Chain A
């Protein structure tokens, strides 16, 4: 499996390289000169002398290819530059914001897992019943509702009217409930529908009929045969959505004032904080590659057929 993973990493390296080139040239090709932008950010008057001094310091007088190599070298050594706004290292800022987003994502995953399992399995066990129709309407509703609007509705209801939960911020575990639930809603809809369809399809398989003929109870068949067999397809959907959960948290973080990656990115774009934007792009793409590899590992672990195909 290790060899296979190395092969996958090698295949994804060109993508990472391409992204690094995009991130590098993004700033270099801006209408505003890099040196001028930097001087503006440190509030130093823009004169010929200061411009040439900064150019020499930042290495902007070298050929563009050499600049890229130097920049890549710095990135690989962990020096991702300094944020224009807070003057702190970009990697540190990214790490701090990422920890908050990771926490939010974990909580979101718990909501998705619990709600979609309950709704999906119960509606699949009683297809075309009243409960099934209710669940299907609920999933349509949840997949259509705008997240930022839902967030405010929940704040008005739970925080302002009922005073059960805090409005905004990220101090205690109570701050985590509403944002994670808001973020999870559309994914609950997706996974409930997916679980229901997959369970109903799997129930028609010949080996499920044989398991019934052997005398196993419905519960045993559901948990030992149906759910483990649909796990690889659920996992592969999950890895597709994991990237969008991380990036889609932007809206929810803005509504609830959660200091995560999304909000940091929005602030950086608004303030033209180019090192942060560069760092955000690189970070998110590396994360995306990591999630892809993780999904590959999980699929190989849980599906013997997939394992045989890929490793032999």
Chain B
């Protein structure tokens, strides 16, 4: 695989990640600092991206909002992956009804409208970021569980695994040193694509008012703020562009890993 294909998606993603991580240092203003006199200012040296309807600097809000969005997306994806992989490997190793139940429920959940489940959580526990994160983790872990379960079921039958068991190898060692490395490539490909989907979901729900509460900066919430001021499109143009760049990069990178894995196995 050419290195160009690898660098192209990674470069903008890493750049954005770095910039958002360095928000406390790089951001010129406090993202929530109001200044009603300077609202809707055009881009200038003082405000590189301009200001919003409350006079808040857009660049600062973008950087801090990125921290929130990317942070939550990463956290949700990592937790879903951890829980899903654990349950998937366990159910695949046990086999039988448990494995079948995991695969069947993932099939049902795949076509089930996720929004219903998220709405149930929102109604039950309130519409804030913690509840949204929990709701998203609980709907997304099943993807990882399904893949891990299927691959574990296949790997379990490998002669090397059977031989190790005969020799007296501990189950935990087998799972960590043999099964998990076999799952890792496909899991990483799914992780990156899932990260993109989670990011879209978080910003979508924040846009609807179910995630981050104002005045906290977040890319989806910034688009929500901008919807009433379409004559000043820059308010929602920049956060949307950032979401697009991140999701496009992670999707492309996930595709790359999947192609690499397929190439290695054929």
Residue positions of A touching B, CB distance < 8 A? 15, 22, 26, 29-30, 140-141, 143-149, 152-153, 155-156, 160, 239-240, 242-244, 246-248, 250-251, 254-255, 262, 265-266, 269-270, 272, 274, 277, 280-281, 284-285, 288, 291-292
CB distance from B244 to the nearest CB of A (A): 5
B122 is an interface residue with CB less than 8 A from chain A: yes
Q: Which residue of B lies closest to A287 (CB)?
A: B113
- Asked if B115 contacts A247 (CB within 8 A), the reply is yes
- B111–A250 touching, CB < 8 Å: no
How far does the alpha carbon of A296 sit from the alpha carbon of B203 in the complex, in Å?
35
Task: Classify the interface of chain A: helix, strand, loop or mixed.
Answer: helix
Nearest chain B CB to A237's CB is how many angstroms away?
10
> Which listed segment binds A: B43-51, B72-80, B144-152, B207-215?
B207-215
The 5 residue pairs across chains A and B that have the minimum distance between CB atoms: A247-B113, A149-B240, A144-B247, A144-B248, A247-B115
Taking a contact as CB atoms under 8 Å apart, the answer to whether A244 and B119 are in contact is no
Q: List B contacts of A274 (CB < 8 A).
A: 123
* Interface membership of B230, Cβ < 8 A: yes
Smallest CB gap from B247: residue in A: A144
Complex Cα distance A284/B112, Å? 9
Chain A residue contacts of B108, Cβ below 8 A: 15
Chain B residues lying within 8 Å of A144, measured Cβ to Cβ, are 196, 244, 247-248, 251
B116 and A140 contact, CB distance less than 8 A: no
Select from chain B the residue with minimum beta-carbon distance to A254.
B208
- Whether a CB of chain A sits under 8 angstroms from the CB of B110 is yes
Q: Which residue of A141, A148, A242, A247 has the most chain B CB atoms within 10 A of its CB atom?
A: A148
The answer to whether A26 touches B248 (Cβ under 8 A) is: no
**Contact yes or no, B244 A148, CB < 8 A:** no
Q: Is B181 an interface residue (CB 8 A)?
A: no
User: How many chain B residues touch A (Cβ–Cβ < 8 Å)?
Assistant: 40
Determine whether B120 belongs to the interface, using a CB cutoff of 8 Å to chain A: yes
Give complex CA distance A281, B124 in Å: 13
A29: B residues at CB distance < 8 A: 124
Asked if B120 contacts A281 (CB within 8 A), the reply is yes
Tell whether, in the assembled complex, residue A156 and residue B243 are in contact, meaning their CB atoms are under 8 Å apart. no
Residue in A141, A146, A255 whose CB lies within 8 Å of B243: A146
CB of A269 within 8 A of CB of B200, answer no
Q: Given known contacts A149-B236, A160-B230, A250-B208, is B115 in contact with A265 (CB within 8 Å)?
A: yes
Complex Cα gap A246–B237 (Å): 27
| Chain A residues within 8 Å of B243, by CB | 146, 149
Q: Is the CB of B240 within 8 A of A153?
A: yes
Q: Is B59 an interface residue (CB 8 A)?
A: no
A152-B226, A155-B230, A281-B116 are known; give 4 further A-B pairs, CB within 8 A: A152-B230, A153-B240, A243-B112, A272-B123
Query: Is there contact, CB below 8 Å, between A288 and B208?
Result: no
Bound together, the chains give a CA A26 to CA B210 distance in angstroms of 18
Asked whether A146 lies within 8 Å of B240 as measured between CB atoms, the reply is yes
B85: Cβ under 8 A from any A Cβ: no
Q: State the Cβ distance, B194 to closest chain A Cβ, in Å.
A: 13
**Across-interface contacts of B209 in A (CB, < 8 A):** 266, 270
Q: Which residues of B contact A281 (CB under 8 A)?
A: 116, 119-120
- Which B-chain residue is minimally distant from A266 (CB atoms)? B208
Asked if residues A288 and B115 are in contact (CB atoms below 8 Å), the reply is: no
Q: Does B142 contact A (CB under 8 A)?
A: no
B124–A285 touching, CB < 8 Å:
no
Contact B204 A148 (CB under 8 A): yes
B252, CB-defined interface residue at 8 Å: yes
**Closest chain B residue to A150, Cβ basis:** B240
- Contact yes or no, B110 A240, CB < 8 A: yes
Q: What is the minimal beta-carbon distance from B218 to any residue of chain A, in angstroms?
A: 13
Q: In the complex, which residues of chain A have a beta carbon less than 8 angstroms from the beta carbon of B164?
A: none
Please indicate the chain A residues that have their CB under 8 angstroms from the CB of B227 in the complex.
152, 255
Alpha-carbon distance A280/B255, docked complex (angstroms): 36
Cα distance A285–B117 in the bound complex, in angstroms: 11
Task: Chain B residues near A243: list those with CB within 8 A.
Answer: 111-113
B41: chain A residues at CB < 8 Å are: none
CA distance A272 to B125 in the complex (A): 12
Kindly provide the distance from the CB of A311 to the nearest chain B CB, expressed in whole angstroms: 21
**Would you list 11 pairs from A and B whose C-beta atoms are within 8 A, ordered by A residue?**
A144-B196, A144-B244, A146-B200, A149-B236, A149-B240, A149-B243, A160-B230, A242-B111, A247-B113, A284-B113, A291-B111
